[in-house]
Structure 1
């Protein structure tokens, strides 16, 4: 077989010019049309020119050069980094058939997918995914991405591999590949994975780890006034005043771009990140950026997306505008009772520190449905203090707030504070106090009735036990009397030998039967008494568990 490879680089005897994205290559028709149906058809169309232009060729001139070498029987390496580009180029040039380039690229891709479904060589799969954006989106790249996502999800969906899958996600080599992906492509990848996945644990771990790595050396390390680690390219910083000693330096570019990436991840993917995983970056993030100008809206959105993972300290570090943004973005139905309590307690701390305005309080309370009884005392306390100031709430706002606070659920302490500040209408405080008295009276009456019913039941159980004991003891006394009488008659009236023998036998049998009956009766009565006592003890124990007996 003639070695045509030697003509490839020198260009001797070239009879066709191929222009790829504006760059020219001097090639030969024979090697090209033996491998490519595309060139076979294009050569047939040529009449006056010996040039063919390939527009928008996948991978450009670099990828076409590798494919041209393949056509000249020059050995080429098909790797995970170039297999998608080679497959796209092979499809473009219609290089089909047994042993041709399209088939060979398919073999490698299928091998990677097959191993990934078993949890093997996952870095190769992630590399394969990462290589797809380098080529213009087309049918081949879409199909490759879909197949890769299906293989990865197939592994994730196997519950027996869930822990291992999460550990794989946290591997530095795998996570580094994800981190180097274009962010928009990464978002689209996560959406596909979420749509296909039935077990979201690995996906949630991936999002959390991505955020943590993205913020590493930035917001995460800026807590408690520590200086951030900034690279040489990130020299532009701003000094932020904080309540603690020292200062925090934040890169201006980081404070906007990274926050927006985190917000987009949480809003678009809506991962279910556990509190343990979120604690690594959420609280440091909120604390670090709470003083950055223009970050309030984004921080509020992030806190809203992670609503039930936000603790009280993190909420307190947020500015009033960030808390308002949080209230506007969050779905009140997603708020747990614990989070509502934390928010109400946070408002108390803010108003005590004079860091809460009446307008801000109105915006927050209008949006958040803090209807649970545990929040009412705190809300009334905040309202009382705010309205006692010179710039307190207007009459309309006060009425609106009072309509949202159920004063019937307020405690004596909260009502007394409202009365002492003289900031809440006295008639409303009086009505609430009367309602509280009525409620307490109802509870007292109900408790008294419960006590009476319990005493009656206890007395009944005790009488039943006493009566059962008295009835169980009398048959035993009767049996002893009968037994003594039979013994005396036996010794007092001797008879003939056969009579004595029969009488003795009769008496002996009677004594045996009588004794067995007595022992059995005694055992029954004892067991019955123990059973009743056990029931009584259990009953008393249950009553002690109620609030009334505590």
Structure 2
């Protein structure tokens, strides 16, 4: 008996029992010859003949030759791809029995043919050549058949990779999907009679079929689709459907729901899907889906890189998030109800994006940038309102520590809140839910509220709120008094106060970002440069007039020096235009002397008479 390893005891027991004799195989060719060798595969025995096996299988031929036993009657094959059923099909092929090669068995036959070394070196049109022909001419031409073969390869790795079945089927799926998108896209395009726009009416059918694949094979198909040029929206739709199929709890769960324990398989799926999304555009993936993946990653304790990538992608489009999206349950029972640290990191990513966009706008637009009207500032205001609502939701949690609550408040810049009524409401709820706070802690928390940004209603409530420190109530009353005085007097009242509250454009100056101040300074700098240029032009004109007057005094006659000098002065002054044209000034002075003449003479006569 020959085996690839030591013959196990289980096979010794099988040898005493009657082996599985392939009468259907050997009846036609070897009807009068009894089987001379027993082949054991996965605990099952096959009573076969040496000649048909060694004539097509290089592996069995080598085992028989290496045994140096002419009476060899037993062979043991270990780790046969596809098991005993696939080996039985290979044995039928060796005996010349006809059977159908299908998408369900072609991968198994190709792998077992590789295992048994059924190449053309031993017989023409051997099993390897026959299966390769089927793969190239039948499977590769159909997307659906390629997917079926890929699914069959799940239990055949790594030998299916060695014979290149997986890569060929993945490329076949991608190529056929791209072709089908092109053909079906032309067929499904409909023209709107009014606007003349083109639209697509349904998604690709293969999006759902890809969910049958195992995650490692699915990753390879998606990578091949990207190389082939399949539309990005179809790939994203496929990833979302795969997640919803493989992770049944991908939908949002309430904070009070009990957690579900998942295995390593689900964690691997989440990490793989996040890695696939890393190559897609930021705005192409729905934000709700990203939040769902983030919740699953936290529950499954995924890798830190996986969670940070999701937080980064969410932070880059945080302005379109909803309040329910931010309410992420905490994975630790001893901590607060909601995961505040995750939201803090998401907010940090958002502010980094705003800072980068602000730097780019300053470089591109310079002093022409209008910060209050820029998209980035609008996004900051939206996130400011969103975070105020989030603070109000997490404030009643008795386990929420003051440091974490204040960290969220301090993270947003001052210009993110034009009105701080939402922040005041959140702080008031937190003070009510945490009566054990010390006076110093209450003061630290209330200092984060800008009393000048409170509305009339919020200020009235704060002035009568017993939970607030006395210092804050005094500040609120002081600013309310200034506001009332300004309204009654109709002017600014306290100049510094009104100037800080309202800017010249009518927009609260607290909402102006440092980027906008920088743009304003650059605008003023340019105006100063223009004024300096004008002064230089005037100075050059004066220098020219001075040279002209000197030249006239040198070249003119002695008696005419005075007239030429004063004429040049009058011309220079007239060109400067400081006092108006010289002729007009002389006429005005002459007319004034004429108009004053009679009155002056009469006045002098009256003076003489009075003296006399």
Do they superpose with TM above 0.5?
yes
By how many angstroms is 1:276 displaced?
10
CA distance 1:203–1:65, change in 2 (3 Å): same
CA distance 1:446–1:241, change in 2 (3 Å): closer
By how many angstroms is 1:109 displaced?
1.9
Please state if 1:201 is matched with 2:195: no
Aligned residue in 1 for 2:568:
none
Aligned residue in 1 for 2:393:
350
> Alignment partner for residue 332 of structure 1, among 335, 340, 348?
348
Please state if 1:61 is matched with 2:106: no
* 1:315–1:346 Cα contact (<8 Å) kept: no
Please state if 1:87 is matched with 2:105: no
For residues 226-265 of structure 1, the aligned pairs below 5 Å read 263-264=270-271
By how many angstroms is 1:22 displaced?
3.4
The whole-number CA distance in structure 1 between the counterparts of 2:271 and 2:99 is 41
CA distance 1:107–1:241, change in 2 (3 Å): closer
By how many angstroms is 1:70 displaced?
0.7
What is the TM-score when the length of structure 2 is the normalising length? 0.51
The whole-number CA distance in structure 2 between the counterparts of 1:15 and 1:75 is 23
CA distance 1:11–1:62, change in 2 (3 Å): farther
> Alignment partner for residue 276 of structure 2, among 266, 269, 276?
269
By how many angstroms is 1:362 displaced?
1.5
Aligned residue in 2 for 1:132:
153
By how many angstroms is 1:174 displaced?
6.6
> Alignment partner for residue 386 of structure 1, among 430, 438, 443?
430
Larger displacement relative to structure 2 (386-395 or 200-209): 386-395
For residues 91-170 of structure 1, the aligned pairs below 5 Å read 91-97=114-120, 98-112=124-138, 114-115=140-141, 121-138=142-159, 140=161, 143-155=164-176, 161=182
Aligned residue in 1 for 2:537:
none
By how many angstroms is 1:127 displaced?
1.2
The whole-number CA distance in structure 1 between the counterparts of 2:64 and 2:384 is 77
* 1:327–1:364 Cα contact (<8 Å) kept: no
The whole-number CA distance in structure 2 between the counterparts of 1:153 and 1:368 is 49
The whole-number CA distance in structure 1 between the counterparts of 2:100 and 2:180 is 37
CA distance 1:196–1:13, change in 2 (3 Å): same
The whole-number CA distance in structure 1 between the counterparts of 2:217 and 2:285 is 20
By how many angstroms is 1:6 displaced?
1.9
Gaps of at least 5 residues in structure 2 are 1-23, 189-199, 331-335, 352-378, 483-493, 509-612
Gaps of at least 5 residues in structure 1 are 116-120, 224-239, 243-247, 448-550
SS in 1 for 2:38: strand
* 1:81–1:131 Cα contact (<8 Å) kept: yes
CA distance 1:174–1:36, change in 2 (3 Å): farther
The whole-number CA distance in structure 2 between the counterparts of 1:366 and 1:40 is 74
- Per-residue Cα deviation, 1:207-265 (whole angstroms, up to 9, x for no partner): 2122334567x786x99xxxxxxxxxxxxxxxx998xxxxx9x9x86888998687546
SS in 2 for 1:35: coil
Aligned residue in 2 for 1:373:
415
By how many angstroms is 1:29 displaced?
1.8
Please state if 1:51 is matched with 2:51: no
- Per-residue Cα deviation, 1:485-507 (whole angstroms, up to 9, x for no partner): xxxxxxxxxxxxxxxxxxxxxxx
What is the TM-score when the length of structure 1 is the normalising length? 0.56
Aligned residue in 2 for 1:438:
499
* 2:110–2:131 Cα contact (<8 Å) kept: yes
* 2:147–2:210 Cα contact (<8 Å) kept: yes
By how many angstroms is 1:62 displaced?
0.9
- Per-residue Cα deviation, 1:363-385 (whole angstroms, up to 9, x for no partner): 68459953373347234542354
The whole-number CA distance in structure 2 between the counterparts of 1:367 and 1:149 is 50
By how many angstroms is 1:413 displaced?
5.5
SS in 2 for 1:14: coil
The whole-number CA distance in structure 1 between the counterparts of 2:165 and 2:410 is 45
The whole-number CA distance in structure 2 between the counterparts of 1:401 and 1:83 is 73
The whole-number CA distance in structure 1 between the counterparts of 2:45 and 2:410 is 66
Aligned residue in 2 for 1:469:
none
Aligned residue in 2 for 1:22:
43
The whole-number CA distance in structure 2 between the counterparts of 1:436 and 1:314 is 39
> Alignment partner for residue 321 of structure 1, among 337, 340, 345?
337
Please state if 1:31 is matched with 2:90: no
* 1:14–1:28 Cα contact (<8 Å) kept: yes
Aligned residue in 2 for 1:506:
none
* 1:208–1:273 Cα contact (<8 Å) kept: no
By how many angstroms is 1:344 displaced?
1.2
Structure exhibiting the larger radius of gyration computed from Cα positions = 2
CA distance 1:106–1:349, change in 2 (3 Å): same
Q: How many residues align?
A: 402
* 1:17–1:52 Cα contact (<8 Å) kept: yes
The whole-number CA distance in structure 2 between the counterparts of 1:371 and 1:446 is 17
- Per-residue Cα deviation, 1:40-73 (whole angstroms, up to 9, x for no partner): 3332223233332221111111111101101111
* 1:17–1:24 Cα contact (<8 Å) kept: yes
The whole-number CA distance in structure 2 between the counterparts of 1:258 and 1:32 is 41
For residues 458-473 of structure 1, the aligned pairs below 5 Å read none
CA distance 1:162–1:358, change in 2 (3 Å): farther
The whole-number CA distance in structure 2 between the counterparts of 1:109 and 1:167 is 34
SS in 2 for 1:53: strand
- Per-residue Cα deviation, 1:7-44 (whole angstroms, up to 9, x for no partner): 68989422222222332211112212222222333322
Aligned residue in 2 for 1:477:
none
CA distance 1:431–1:322, change in 2 (3 Å): same
